[in-house]
Structure 1
Amino acid sequence: MSTAASSPASRIEKGASLWQDAWRRLSKNRAAMVSVGVLAVILLACIILPAIPKFLQDPGMQSLENKNLPPSAAHWFGTDHLGRDLFSRILFGGRVSIMVGLITTMVSVTIGITWGAISGYVGGRTDAFMMRTVDTLYALPFLVIVILLGAVLEPITGHVTEFTVRLFTPSGSSAAKANEVRTAVEPFTTLVPLFIAIGALSWLNVSRIVRAQVQSVAKLEFVEAARSLGLGHLRILFRHILPNTLGPIIVYTTLTIPGVMLFEATLSFLGLGVKPPNSSWGILIEEGANRMLSNPLLLFFPALFFSTTLFALNFLGDGLRDALDPKSSKD
């Protein structure tokens, strides 16, 4: 009896969830896993190293007698035309570029998910009106609208900066302490118009993807069962339908981040993004392109970090797309 009880026919194989299957397939994708490691190193370097006191040189400190120095133990990537340490500038600029990519993508994905989910679930005239709105926005020149929105929203930057300084400055602090806090937060508060401008118009593709997914999932039996139980429309939509559309949303999000970072770099290259003396990878590339004949390293190192990050995000997005493909859920 013990032999029969332990026979293969009597064993119950434990099932795996969709996310477990997806992780198993993703872990087999070498390019995606290498990309995860590369992104982790770049993120940790740009976030942790600038926060360590006196580990990096001041990215804004100028030293004209040390300008255009080659890489050395004192300056790992050399110095620029004003004697500023290039390695420090790349890490501090990477923090800004990565923040632009992440926050702007969160804004656009949130708007796109909400708009597309409501449009796909409600249907009818509401769906037609919302999708025609998306079509109208598609017809507008994206770059021009972002530039105009950034110009209109720019006056709020000063108010946001002062509010943030008051928030993080203890009462009774000296003016020097307030200026120190202002120097730390100003590179990020000045980006608020850029966050809003890009995020407010980059959600159009997300809304179409979510709408199509919601329309497909809404026809399934478990949604009809939820309706028969008397659940409200908002609960059905956000608790039952949207969780079953997360796969394509996650994939598109990973592919949106490099697009947003590239667009920010383009704006900064044109002088319309991050304002000097603050830096981003786009500004560093623009400065390097202007001086590539006299010092090509000023272009090489920022472009290397930027392109490596974009490649890693794209490889990760491709890996997630393959891992979350329902047609390949059973290998």
Structure 2
Amino acid sequence: MNQAADSGGQRPVTAGERGRVTVTAPIETTGSATEVQPEAVLAGVDKGQIEGRSLGQIAWSRFKKDKVAVAGGVIVILLIVLALLSRPIQALFGLDPNTFNQDLIDPNTSIPQGDFGGMSWEHPLGVDPKFGRDIATRILEGSWVSLVVAFGATILSNTIGAVLGVVAGYYGGRVDSIISRLMDTFLAFPLLLFAIAISATLQGGAFGMEGLPLHICVLIFIIGFFNWPYLGRIVRGQTLALREREFVDASRGMGAKGPYILFRELLPNLVGPIIVYSTLLIPTNIIFEASLSFLGVGIQPPQASWGGMLKEAVTYYQVDPQFMIVPGLAIFVTVLAFNLLGDGLRDALDPRSR
């Protein structure tokens, strides 16, 4: 038998073995574990490196790359925390948004004493020229009112719009026609005029409520109940595409009924568009609530609200512009932060929109 020895002094290799060596990767005796064990490559050298990621993890990794959206999200979180803690903060520091400080108002000019609207260490954003109330405290007090109305109206409109939209898109036919015409009817309402009329009618008391709770509930109902068709159309369009997917056919094949498919199969796949639309709807509701309060049919004084503060500032904007700038900036920053967050979530949850 012919044999050949290699230059390294290893055992002789037969002709048959030489053929096998040419197709087999040599195993080195030095090096890392990755190099010395080819079978480890087949099993996965480091299982953590090849572990799959969920859709939420992928969306979060995309969202983190958008620094502008992250900044908007941080501002939104801070605003929510301040709104939730507004009353405890006022109690902790002994603040009262309705405390009159007439001694801070110049009796001759009827404007706050000092520069920039009476700004000082005690009143960092100045005082209002009408009663000398601290503007910073009133901004803090008005924050929770605006956010409660905006979030409440968004939840109401999204609940109605998501349910009716997915029903219309899934069943189609006459059901779709009825719900679609209902959407068109609601969209045809002159919402602002209708809201003014309803709010003015229910100012005294209704449904066993009065005062601030009544005003908040009325605003949530008006804004939320008449805005649901916007989300309803989005959900209906998405459902028309999803109902033809394989997982829906599989559910039907397994005997699943309509309600199960709607709420267990279709709606979970619509969470992304609903979240994105919510972040874009909240700032719209904040502006709407401020508009109604500015017109005098929203939150009523002495309760502080950003729109109400702008209404009071109209009389004094020439002699004390500070009184108008501060609540205007509060609305501007809040709306901008929610819009930036919404744009970032849209790109993260739907990469096709990039």
Would the TM-score normalized by the shorter structure come out above 0.5?
yes
AA aligned opposite 1:235: Y
Letter matched to residue 292 of structure 1: Y
Over the aligned positions, Cα root-mean-square deviation in angstroms equals 2.0
Partner of residue 278, structure 1: 303
Q: Does 1:71 align with 2:119?
A: yes
Q: Which has the higher contact order (CA 8 A, sep 6+)?
A: 1
Tell whether the 8 Å contact from 1:157 to 1:190 is kept in structure 2 after alignment. no
Q: CA deviation at 1:78?
A: 1.1
Partner of 1:247: 272
Letter in 1 for 2:37: T
Counterpart of 1:57, as a letter, is: L
Partner Cα distance (2:160, 2:353) in 1: 30
Tell me the residue number matched to 1:218.
243
- 1:157 deviates by 4.3
Q: Which residue type is aligned with residue 95 of structure 1?
A: W
What aligned pairs does 1:29-44 form with structure 2 within 5 A after superposition?
29-44=66-81
Tell me the SS of whatever aligns to 1:159: coil
> Which amino acid in 1 is paired with 2:82?
A
**Is 1:300 the counterpart of 2:325 in the alignment?**
yes
TM, length-normalised to structure 1: 0.86
Q: Secondary structure, in 3 states, of the residue corresponding to 1:104?
A: helix
Does structure 1 retain, via aligned residues, the 8 Å contact 2:205–2:214?
no
- Pick from 115, 137, 141: which aligns with 1:88? 137
Asked whether 1:227 is paired with 2:252, we answer yes
Contact 1:157 1:192 in 2 (8 A): no
Alignment partner of 1:60 is 2:98: yes
Partner of 2:161: 112
AA aligned to 2:160 is I
Larger CA Rg, structure 1 vs 2:
2
Kindly indicate whether residue 271 of structure 2 is the aligned counterpart of residue 237 of structure 1. no
**Structure 1 residues 208-217 or 152-161, which shifts more?**
152-161
- State how many pairs are aligned: 305
Q: Determine the C-alpha separation between the residues in 1 that align with 2:342 and 2:323.
A: 29
Output one character per residue of 1:152-175: Cα deviation in whole Å (capped at 9) or x when no partner.
5545547135xxxxxxxxxxxxxx
1:207-251 superposed Cα distances (whole Å, 9 cap, x missing partner)? 000001111111100111111111121111011111111111111
**1:88, CA displacement in angstroms?**
0.5
Aligned with residue 50 of structure 1, among 83, 87, 95: 87
Q: Taking structure 1 as reference, are residues 130 and 258 closer, same or farther at Cα in structure 2, changes over 3 Å only?
A: same
Taking the aligned partners of 1:153 and 1:199, their CA distance within structure 2 comes to: 17
Superposed, which structure 2 residues align to 1:95-244 within 5 Å? 95-154=144-203, 156-157=205-206, 159-161=208-210, 186-244=211-269
Residue ranges of structure 1 left out of the alignment (5+ in a row):
162-185
Deviations 1:272-304 (A, max 9, x none): 211111121111122223211111111111111
Deviations 1:28-62 (Å, cap 9, x if unpaired)? 11011111111122222232142232415211111
Question: Shift of the alpha carbon at 1:140?
Answer: 2.0
**How many Å separate the matches in 1 of 2:327 and 2:243?**
46
Match for residue 17 of structure 1?
A: 54
TM-aligned CA deviation for residue 198 of structure 1: 1.2
**In the alignment, what sits opposite 1:180?**
none
Deviation at 1:125, TM superposition (A): 0.9
**1:251–1:320: 8 Å Cα contact kept in structure 2?**
yes
Relative to its length, the structure with more helix (as a share) is 1
1:7 counterpart residue number = 41
Query: C-alpha separation between the residues in 2 aligned to 1:26 and 1:153?
Result: 43
Structure 2 SS opposite 1:62 = coil
Q: Secondary structure at the match of 1:190?
A: helix
Matches of 2:144 and 2:312 in 1, distance apart? 18
Distance 1:203 1:149 in 2: 18
Identity %: 37
Once residues 74 and 153 of structure 1 are traced to their aligned partners in structure 2, the CA distance between those partners, rounded to angstroms, is 38
Q: 1:5 to 1:60 in 2, by over 3 A?
A: same
Structure 2 unmatched runs, 5+: 1-26, 28-35, 106-111
**In terms of mean alpha carbon deviation, does 316-325 or 144-153 score higher?**
144-153
Partners of 1:104 and 1:195 within 8 A in 2: yes
CA contact (8 A) 2:346 2:353 kept: no
- TM-score, normalised via structure 2 length: 0.81
**Partner SS, residue 268 of structure 1:** helix
Q: Is the 8 A contact 2:166 2:236 kept in 1?
A: yes
Letter in 2 for 1:78: G
